[in-house]
Amino acid sequence: MPKPLIALDWGTTRARAFLISETGEVLQRRIADQGIQSVPAGGYPAAFETLAGDFRRAAPDASILLAGMVGSRNGWIEAAYVACPASPEEIAAAAIQVELDKNTTATILPGLSCDEGAFDVMRGEETLIVGLGLTDGIACLPGTHSKWAEIKGGRITRFASFMTGEVYGLLRDSSILSRLAEAPAGTDTVEGAARGRAAVSRAGGLLNSIFASRTEVLAGRMPGGAVGPYLSALLVGQEIAGAQALFGHSAEVHLVADGALGESYGGELEAAGLKVRTVTPEAAFIAGVRRLSSGLAA
């Protein structure tokens, strides 16, 4: 019989904890700025108690499943990467056990690796991809380091990472471009996004197009409030083009995102002529951990 599940998406800076019923309903959730970088050596049982100890007391028979950077070499204990192509069953089979106390163990899920010319890794995103339940398709998981993945025959066959979010932050806030950038006002967001989208195919390439966000403002042809939206649309557009070069021009993309990030990527994907199916990260995570948990039970 299915059991309740306590699942943590435990990343570098944040942790998301969920108490999930036997039928998949989220009974309780907690989000905290208590990622692995804040946990001292040997401190994971205590950190888990802070994050989800009350969940455990509310459901003492629940299984405990941990995903994300908690399984990295900088986390609780390293769970070796599973090489692509990988099925949900293969991911579950590579999970490892850790001891919370003398009576309770938790399961840490592994990450995935991919080697197609350039070695690539992910931790945590594989759980969201599994949660999409795809037999065949392309998934996009935007973020600081966006992931695109190809699924064939129910297996994650390959994936690629893009430093889109991090590069945007560096350019917008820490480069010479920040001197002219302002908070968007009025139509700045629409204008900046349209200009950035058009610049994706500019003959000079990405580096030339980035610098144009400065010179267009200097020339008085673009407001400072459009710089951020310009860079966002330009970088996301380049990411989409790069993913299409790697995985082909799929007609549909499964987008795992919500909020402003979901709106931004959804708009840019549609502008590129793609049909978008959006799933929230929480929904994908819940579905993913439940599927992987059932694989562990089997």
Residue in the structure block whose two tokens are 């929904």: 283
Asked whether residue 298 is assigned to any structural domain, the reply reads no
Beta-bridge partners for 151: 137, 156
Residue type, 244: Q
Predicted confidence (pLDDT) per residue in 93-145, tens digit: 999 999 998 889 999 999 999 998 899 999 999 999 999 999 999 999 999 99
83 plus 192 within the same structural domain = no
Same-domain check for residues 98 and 177: no
The answer to whether residue 130 is domain-embedded is no
Segment (H or E) for 44: helix 44-58
pLDDT range class, residue 296, cuts 50, 70, 90 = confident
The distance of Cα 239 from the centroid of its chain, to the nearest Å, equals 14
Q: Is residue 76 part of a domain?
A: yes
| Residue 148 pLDDT > 90 | yes
* Same structural domain, 85 and 23: yes
Whether 20 and 103 map to the same domain: the answer is yes
| CA distances to 79, 186, 204, 221 from 231, in Å | 37, 18, 15, 16
Which of 94, 123, 152 delimits the end of a domain? 123
At 258, which CATH number?
A: 3.30.420.310
Whether residue 170 is found in the same domain as residue 104: no
Task: State pTM to two decimals.
Answer: 0.95
Question: Quick one: 9 and 105 in the same domain?
Answer: yes
Distance CA 49, CA 124 (A): 21
Looking at the fold, whether 13 and 118 belong to one and the same domain comes out as yes
Q: What is the pLDDT of residues 210-257, one digit of tens each?
A: 999 999 999 999 999 999 999 999 999 999 999 999 999 999 999 999
**Long-range own/partner contacts, residues 265-268 (CB < 8 A, 24 or more apart):** 265/140, 265/142, 265/236, 267/193, 268/197, 268/233, 268/236, 268/237, 268/240
In this structure, what CATH number is given to the domain that contains residue 70? Answer: 3.30.420.300
Per the listing, tokens 């690629």 go with 160
Q: Is residue 15 part of a domain?
A: yes
Give the range of the structural domain holding residue 46, as residue numbers without chain letter. 5-123
Q: Do 80 and 168 share a structural domain?
A: no
> 49 in a domain, yes or no?
yes
Number of domains in the chain: 2
Indicate the SS3 state at residue 169.
helix
